[in-house]
Amino acid sequence: MHKTLVKVKNKKLSELVENIINKMSKNEILQCVQSESSLLAPQFRNPELVMDLNNAMLEFLDSPILAGKNKGEISATVIKVEGAYKALKHMIKKDVKLLKPLDKKSMDALFYLHVYDLALMASEKRAVRKMLG
Please give the Cα distance from 123 to 104 (Å, whole number).
28
Give me the pLDDT at residue 88, please: 94
Distance between CA atoms of 27 and 32, rounded to whole angstroms? 9
How much is the pLDDT for 76?
86
pLDDT exceeds cutoff 80 at 130: no
pLDDT of residue 65: 86
| pTM for this predicted structure | 0.87
**Per-residue pLDDT tens over the stretch 50-109:** 999 999 998 998 888 888 888 888 888 888 999 999 999 999 998 888 888 889 999 999
- DSSP-based three-state secondary structure for 90: helix
For residue 5, the model assigns a pLDDT of 86
Rg (the chain; Cα; Å): 14
The full set of domain ranges for the chain reads 3-132
20-45 pLDDT tens trace: 988 999 999 999 999 999 989 998 98
- C-alpha 12/C-alpha 132 separation (Å) is 10
**What are the angstrom distances between the C-alpha of 29 and each of 17, 37, 70, 78?**
11, 12, 31, 24
Angstrom distance (rounded) from CA 35 to CA 86: 22
